[in-house]
Amino acid sequence: MVSFQLAGRTVVVTGAGQGQGTAEARLLVEAGARVIATDLAADVPAELAALSSSSGGALVYRQLDVADAAGWSGLAQWIQSRGWRVDGLVNNAGITQRSRLLDASVDDLQRVYEVNVAGALLGIQALTPLMASGSAIVNVGSVAGLTAHYPVAYTASKWALRGLSQVAAMELGPQGIRVNTVHPGFIDTPMTASAKPVFRRATLAEIPLGRTGGVEEVAGVVLFLLSPLSSFVTGAEIPVDGGQSGHGGAKSVSDALR
Ligand SMILES: NC(=O)c1ccc[n+]([C@@H]2O[C@H](COP(=O)([O-])OP(=O)(O)OC[C@H]3O[C@@H](n4cnc5c(N)ncnc54)[C@H](O)[C@@H]3O)[C@@H](O)[C@H]2O)c1
């Protein structure tokens, strides 16, 4: 039987309190990993509490605002104090901001960057000193970072995250640390639940698979990228979007000619 070979490995997941982060934590625990699940809440979110007693690996919860450099150093010190190293980091925490081009303020831009870009940078800076060769980092981008998705601050932040990921892959490669990016399309989570119905309909028309994605469908790709099964993959970007980004806008033309 093929295994993800993650048993006993320690993986930090940010924004693990709901949505894709919870699914990543759940799958990692099932694969036998020790998951350090982090999010903004002081108390362990309900879904994660249920996981800490499930079979497979283990889960511990720590409060962490990814935009807080001191929080990251505190987390690194806590991990070190337990005598653990870090084998994986999933920079999953992210926020959206839906202002359009002519309405977006510098504050909008800064807040989204603080979480979506600086959060990932701070995580990489804090935890790579605890990583040995064979470790892996997965950054969670977005189809927005591959296209001209209209919410400009969010889109710009995800394009910036791609740049950060590529630099990190180059700089950390010599240490045997891999860095890859997944780009989710429309995934059913609390984030997309707050989107307008017309956004869902219009997006569905752009997805060749004709449906939205589930959180496990992103988590599976994240697990593969954390696993030694992907040991020669670094600096890669994998859309998990039902084909939305691959057609580059050609779908509406094709559909119109059917
Ligand atoms: N859902 C989608 O369709 C979709 C599509 C593309 C990309 N993404 C990306 O996937 C990731 C997860 O998205 P989701 O849909 O699960 O979102 P979500 O809003 O359901 O969950 C995000 C989690 O991140 C946490 N978070 C927010 N700010 C934080 C901070 N400063 N520090 C720590 N944690 C913080 C939240 O508390 C929440 O638990 C994000 O990076 C998002 O941009 C999502």
Give the model's pLDDT for residue 1: 86
Residues 6+ apart with CB under 8 A from 249: none
The number of the ligand 1 atom at minimal distance from the alpha carbon of 212 is 3
As to burial, measured by CB atoms within 10 angstroms (0-12 exposed, 13-18 middle, 19+ buried), residue 43 is: exposed
Is residue 235 helix, strand or coil?
A: coil
With a 6 Å cutoff on the Cβ, whether 61 touches ligand 1 is no
With a 6 Å cutoff on the Cβ, whether 221 touches ligand 1 is no
With a 6 Å cutoff on the Cβ, whether 97 touches ligand 1 is no
d(CA 29, CA 52): 8
C-beta of residue 47 within 8 angstroms of C-beta of residue 18: yes
d(CA 58, CA 77): 20
With a 6 Å cutoff on the Cβ, whether 123 touches ligand 1 is no
User: For 37-51, what is each residue's pLDDT tens digit?
Assistant: 999 999 999 989 988
- Residues marked active site are found at 154
Is residue 195 helix, strand or coil?
A: coil
Helix axes 106-113, 152-172, angle to 10 degrees: 40
Strand order in the sheet with 136-140: 58-63, 34-39, 10-13, 88-91, 136-140, 178-184, 237-240
With a 6 Å cutoff on the Cβ, whether 75 touches ligand 1 is no
Ranges under pLDDT 70 in the chain: 53-55
Q: Quick one: tokens of 211?
A: 């449906």
Topology of 10-243 in CATH? Answer: Rossmann fold (3.40.50)
Give the model's pLDDT for residue 159: 98
C-beta of residue 33 within 8 angstroms of C-beta of residue 26: no
Pocket-testing residue among 22, 40, 143, ligand 1, by greatest number of atoms within 8 A of Cβ: 40
Rounded to the nearest angstrom, the distance between the alpha carbon of 177 and the centre of ligand 1 is: 24
C-beta of residue 196 within 8 angstroms of C-beta of residue 96: no
As to burial, measured by CB atoms within 10 angstroms (0-12 exposed, 13-18 middle, 19+ buried), residue 135 is: buried
Rounded to the nearest angstrom, the distance between the alpha carbon of 151 and the centre of ligand 1 is: 15
User: For 205-218, what is each residue's pLDDT tens digit?
Assistant: 999 999 999 999 99
d(CA 33, CA 90): 13
Give the model's pLDDT for residue 51: 85
User: For 130-158, what is each residue's pLDDT tens digit?
Assistant: 999 999 999 999 999 999 999 999 999 99
Give the model's pLDDT for residue 53: 64
Rounded to the nearest angstrom, the distance between the alpha carbon of 222 and the centre of ligand 1 is: 15
Give the model's pLDDT for residue 56: 76
- The domain spans of the chain are 10-243
Is residue 255 helix, strand or coil?
A: helix
- How many residues are recorded in the chain? 258
